[in-house]
Amino acid sequence: MTTKKTFNFSEKFTDLEELVASFEDQEIDLDKAIKKFEEGLKLAHDLKKHLKLAENKIETLKQKFS
């Protein structure tokens, strides 16, 4: 039996905030900065995707009940 981990929006958003803060709080070398930037882009993409899914669901519900 496989279990699918659910997406925790708040947790991922906090991860992104912490990543951004790490750029502001410390000097890091270019390779680490690029890796963190890539990680931030992935987090932002995942958050945007889940917001779009929520938006579509809300629109569907509005149409269903109006």
Tens-binned pLDDT, residue by residue, of the chain (66 aa): 566 678 899 999 999 999 999 888 778 889 999 999 999 999 999 999 999 999 999 999 999 998
pLDDT for residue 8: 94
Q: What is the pTM of this model?
A: 0.80
What lies within 8 Å, CB to CB, of 43 at 6+ separation is 12, 15, 16, 19
pLDDT for residue 4: 66
